[in-house]
Structure formats: structure tokens, C-alpha cells
Amino acid sequence: MPIEVDSLYPAHLTEVRRRTDRALAAHGFDGLVMFSGCAGYSFLDDRTYPFRANPHFAQWVPLGDAQQCFVGYVPGQAPLLCFHQPADYWHKPPELPTGDWLREFRLEVLRDPGSARELLGLAGRRIAFIGEWQAGFDAWGFAAVNPAALLDELHYHRAVKTPYEVECMRRASVLAARGHVAARDAFRAGASEFETHLAYCAAVGQRDEELPYGNIIAFNEGAAVLHYQHLRRERGVPRRSFLIDAGAQFRGYAADITRTYAADDGDFAGLVAGMDALQLELCAAIRSGTDYRDVHLLAHRLIAGLLRSAGIIDGDPDEAVATGLSSVFFPHGIGHLLGLQVHDVAGLARDASGGEIPRPAGHPYLRLTRVLEPGFVVTVEPGLYFIDLLLDEARGRDHGRRIRWDAVERLRPYGGIRIEDNVVCTAGAPENLTRDAFAN
């Protein structure tokens, strides 16, 4: 039977409070206030940008669309949720929160966000503010605004997800897998990039602004653009390949999944199958005590081996990695932490006091350099692309002698391949949230 997510929430909040108590004591604060944020306005306009709640706020309460709300916390006391419910006839006011999780909070309803000042009990205490600062808070009496040392500690420990957080990400993965299947079927039925995107959103049940990031839906050469941002409307284009990088959210926690499909059998389909096999090998390497930098370098060696076996490069795979030849075809990092943010915080953190663990030389885009621990949720996303800019640079260097340009020209119209799963590091074998979601 599926886990009841609310049953996991009290233990989650207990752990969040424990981490917060320790951080507050270490940095000399009596408590903190987390502001959910508010939507900003476009320049010279009365339209707002899509709203994203402050992830610190969202870790405490599952309210992703709650603007101008506050969580106040002092160790030893039940946290206070100041929920903003304005009197408004231009927009539908947010409904009061419900759910078993609310039993852990004291709830105060605000008509005006300014009334939170007295409710939060700031007088006589050193209270840290976390969130996007507003000019109206200047006179409230906060001891510090987003203090770096406090944030470093909170971010560092946030990498270890609680069972509640992992369950939220399981559910986000199920939603995203449902959308991926619908998008694949739409592509095969002749839909445009834009129509494929609409099929994805309909299957997931989330609007664009509710997704964790803008969907990457690329046909053919577009798959060589790592963050391809267009959704072409044309239907009658040739169909050689399809890359979709798209996620979903559940209670603010993200899934981040990529799949690549070949329209027909042939060399490119063989490359996709080879990438899928090596991607599973990399997922199996997500083990407690493993340096994630080693996973990244393993990915380069495996991809270099695939390039050689496919007749795209010549020579030894290890040499291809050492000389940077593999980076011509795989220029990004193997993955990142995942959670309340798609690229979750503290991926490079040396420890809770700050500082960074360096990336491997020659690999500037890796987002995670930490040693894996149980509770880390990471993406594993090897890629192989035919990027004109990088290929043109390689042609004029020593790399050019080791690239089989006839194979490149044959495969360039397919754009590229990326396969991405979300994997939980455990005390034993890793849990692949993505493969499990597709299997359901």
C-alpha cells in the first residue's frame, strides 16, 4: 500500500527543528522568521512574474502558492504560521490551509502582512530573517537578514532528505513519468513541440508555472542545445529524434527527468540504447561514501568508450577524458542535488561552516562535489551531443585528429542524447525514483 505522506510529516518537522535548533545556538540567534515571498511585477506593468515560495519556508509548510506568509520559530515552542488571506475581490483569496500537518503549528490568519510584526514576538530577541527582504520590514527589529553563516549550516544539512521529503519526490516522479509517457506518445503521433508540451502538462495536471522548471522539448538538432527554450508550433517537420527534459512537483519537491527517443532504427537508436545502459551503471554507483566527482569522471570514461565503440572517436577512452576530448561531446556535469530546488543548495559545500570542495580540473560545470550520504537525492544525467560550437573548436585543435568527422556529420542532424534519473542514496543499494515511477 502507498505510504500516507502526512504520516511522515511530524518526524520530518522534528528533524527540521533539530537542525534549526543546533544552527541557531551555534550562531547566536534566539529564533528565525521565514518569509514565503511575494510575486514581483514586470517593469512598468501591473502583471506579476510566476511566484515561487522561499524554499526555507516550503521545507516547514507544504504551501507552494502562499504569498506574504511567515513561519516564526523559537526553539522549545511550536512554530507559528502567519497565513496571509487578504480581503480581495480582484483575485480569489487563498483558502485556509488544512491537513494533519497543521496540528504541528499555531495558526494566525492575516488580512495585512504588516500585522505579523507583533505576532512574531521579535521584541527582546535576536531573530534572524530568511527570505526576500521587503522595505516594509526595515523597522521590525530583525537581528540579521539572511546571515551567511546560518544559511551555510542550514543548506549543508538540507542535502540529507527526510523520509517525508523522499516520499514527496517519489510522488513527483510518478507525475513526471506520466507526463513523459504522454509526451512520447504525442511525438510519435506527429505533434509539434508545443503540442507535445501541452500533452505533458495535461498528463501531469500542472500548469507551466507549477512545474519546477520550463520544459525542454526538442526535436532533431534542437536536442544539441542543452537548455533548448523554444516550443516550435510546426507539425510538418522531419522527425529524427526527440529529447524531453521535464519535471513535476509535489508539495514543493521536484522531479527532474530526461529521456531521448529515436524516430527510427539505426545508428542513433543504437547510441540511445548504449547511453541507457551506461546510465544505469552510473545510477548503481550512487552509494554512501562515494565521492560524486568520481561518478562524474566515470561518466566521462563510459561515454568516451561509447563514442569509440560507435566509431565517433579513435583512441583510448582514458586518454579522451584526460585530454578533454570527451568534453567536446559531454560538456556538462553528471548531475546535482535535487529537492525543494531543482539545483538544490550546498552541492559544493565543504562542511557546515562554508567553503567549497573544488570541481575536477577541466570540469567547470559540475554542480555536486560532495561525498554521498544516505538521504542525498541526486540526478544522474549523462549526455552525448553534436554541438556545432564545440565541434568547430575541436576541429582546429588536436582533438580534430581523433574525431571521425564522417560519423559526426551523419549524426549531427539528431542533435544529441541525455538520459536522466533521480536516485536516492541509501545505506545500501540506491533507490531509482525515476525507473520505479516508469515501471508503475
Mind listing the pLDDT tens digit for each residue in 313-346? Answer: 999 999 999 999 999 999 999 999 999 999 999 9
The pLDDT of residue 91: 87
Kindly list the distances between the CA atom of residue 122 and the CA atoms of 67, 111, 142, 271, in Å, as whole numbers in the listed order.
21, 20, 7, 60
The answer to whether the Cα torsion of 414, 415, 416, 421 is positive or negative is negative
pLDDT of amino acid 347: 98
Of residues 367 and 236, more confidence is placed in: 367
Phi, psi of 250 (to 5 degrees): -135, 120
Please provide the average confidence, as pLDDT, over all residues in the chain: 96
- DSSP code for 48: B
Angle between helices 193-204 and 163-188 (to 10 degrees): 140
SS3 262: strand
Instruction: Check if CATH label 3.40.350.10 holds for domain 5-158.
Output: yes
Q: What gap in Å lies between CA 348 and CA 341, rounded to an integer?
A: 15
What is the per-residue pLDDT across 140-168, written as a single tens digit (0 to 9) for each? 999 999 999 999 999 999 999 999 999 99
CATH number for domain 163-439, candidates 3.40.30.10, 3.40.50.10860, 3.90.230.10, 3.30.70.20: 3.90.230.10
Quick one: pLDDT band at residue 2, thresholds 50, 70, 90? Answer: low
The CA R_g of the chain, rounded to the nearest whole Å, is 24
Residue 1 has pLDDT above 50, yes or no: no
Which part of the chain is CATH 3.90.230.10?
Answer: 163-439
The answer on pLDDT for 440 being more than 60 is yes
Is the Cα torsion angle 68, 246, 377, 364 positive or negative in sign? negative
With beta carbons less than 8 A apart as the criterion, state whether 41 and 47 touch. Answer: yes
Residue 310 above 90 pLDDT? yes
Contacts of 85 (CB under 8 A, 6+ apart): 93, 94, 96, 109, 110, 111
Please check whether residue 131 is in contact with residue 34, taking contact to mean a CB–CB distance below 8 angstroms: yes
Residue with cell 559531454: 330
**CB atoms < 10 A from the CB of 355, how many?**
10
Judge whether residue 364 has pLDDT over 70. Answer: yes
With a cut of 90, say whether residue 92 has pLDDT above it.
no
CA–CA separation, 303 vs 297, rounded Å? 10
Q: Which region among 56-70, 88-102, 253-267, 289-303 has the lowest average model confidence (pLDDT)? A: 88-102
Whether the CB-CB separation of 176 and 246 falls below 8 Å is answered with yes
Q: Answer whether residue 414 shows pLDDT above 90.
A: yes
Scan for cell 545502459, then name that residue: 277
State the pLDDT at residue 3: 73
Instruction: Give percent of the chain above pLDDT 70.
Output: 100
Percentage helix, strand, coil for the chain under 3-state DSSP, each rounded to 5: 40, 20, 40
Residue ranges matching CATH 3.40.350.10 in the chain = 5-158
Contact 341, 384 (CB under 8 A): no
Q: Is the pLDDT of residue 32 over 90?
A: yes
Q: State mean pLDDT over 308-313.
A: 97
